[in-house]
Amino acid sequence: MTTTRIRTFVQCVLMGLAGAAPASADEIISTFSGGIHVDGTTSPGFFNYFVGYSVPSTPAERRNYFIFDLAGITTPVASAKLKLFLPGGPSMVSGFISSEPTEDYRISGSPFPSTAYATAFGGGAPGPLLSAMFPTMGAGPAYGLKTISGDASGTDIEIDLSIAAILDINASLGSMFLITGRLSDIHPAAPGTPPSELVFAYTDIPDPLIPFPRLELTFVPAPGACVPLAVAGMALLIRRRRSS
């Protein structure tokens, strides 16, 4: 086996250990959550993260966003998932309101910075800016995609984040990380428009029964825990090469 192949083996061992034996995990609660409508309107200070549309109460499509404060995070992240509660169960109305059996929810980043969305939450973003932000929400390189149905009401919707999201999270360590989302298969302008295609309705947080959106981070283990095993594997390959 060549030195290059041995080096490749060591790299694979290190990456495999990072994926198979993560050092620790943490949950970050969202600092802001909310939404922007296609007509360039929003509801300042409203944490509700419903997405889609509902006739007649919310006829204009709404897309949502979440901002997570990573100021205290310094360890590189190996994997992550977004956790969003879908209301429902014996004590509350279902947050899935749709004439369709399922809805596809897509998340991404945005070319607009998290500060723009924080400004929108605070009521300081003008209509033209909101209108420009809206089409970018949930439309960039995919952070994740989840098919949701009413059967999930009363549980957390967990979305495993993509490699693109992990790269952006690691680039955002020490600052804010933004996620935006949309329903990717709605058709409010189609003939015979259905009455509603809405997910995460009634997420009127803060509420003792509804948790805030959460970002679960799994961290890359400390290098010292992996290197001895990698070196042992490399030594074994060298011995096999000599014996052959």
Across 37-45, average pLDDT: 95
Instruction: Flag whether the pTM goes above 0.85.
Output: no
List, edge to edge, every strand of the sheet that includes 214-219: 25-29, 214-219, 77-86, 155-160
Q: Is residue 229 part of a domain?
A: no
Q: Is residue 137 part of a domain?
A: yes
Residue 212, helix vs strand vs coil: coil
| Domain count of the fold of the chain | 1
Across 79-86, average pLDDT: 98
What is the pLDDT, as a whole number, of residue 115? 98
CATH of the domain at 70: 2.60.120
Q: Is residue 17 part of a domain?
A: no
Q: What tens digit of pLDDT does each residue of 138-181 get? A: 999 999 999 999 999 999 999 999 999 999 999 999 999 999 99
What is the pLDDT, as a whole number, of residue 13? 41
